[in-house]
Amino acid sequence: MNEGNQTSQEPVYQKPEKSTGGTVLWVLGAILMLIIAGFLSFATNIKDFSGNREAAIGFALGNFLAPLILTAVVVALFMIGKNFRNLRSAAKIAFFTALVFILPSLAKIGKGAQRGSMQLPSIHQNLS
């Protein structure tokens, strides 16, 4: 038997393949949050408009696009750092920046409901 020529069956370390599932979810979440932020910005500010019909289109577009443009600026500023220059990091930054735009819109909707501009039915009126 020639024991010196035997090859060992040691496993060779292989780098695990990167999963793109997390990146895709962050990108889809960021897109969804940006769309929600745009619509909420439009919906909460449209009642403040008091102009003619031609100006209404510009007002509506401006309210819808403002969160999208500001989010793009924030992502671009973060990409100055080398650690943020990939799709997953950009999607995370966009997701949380859009969340920051959504929270004040939800607060404005809640404040409108509390003031009574969004009339909610009361239970005691329906019982009598």
The answer to whether 75 touches 94, Cβ cutoff 8 Å, is yes
The pLDDT, as a whole number, for residue 102 is 93
The answer to whether 31 touches 95, Cβ cutoff 8 Å, is no
The answer to whether 88 touches 22, Cβ cutoff 8 Å, is yes
What's the sign of the alpha-carbon dihedral 111, 112, 116, 118? Answer: negative
Place of tokens 């439009």: 42
CA atoms of 106 and 102, how far apart (whole Å): 6
Local structure of residue 48 (DSSP, 8 states): G
pLDDT < 70: residue spans in the chain: 1-8, 16, 19, 116-128
The pLDDT, as a whole number, for residue 2 is 56
The pLDDT, as a whole number, for residue 7 is 60
The pLDDT, as a whole number, for residue 63 is 86
Long-range contacts, 24-29 (Cβ 8 Å, 24+): 26/88, 26/91, 26/92, 26/95, 27/87, 27/91, 29/91, 29/95
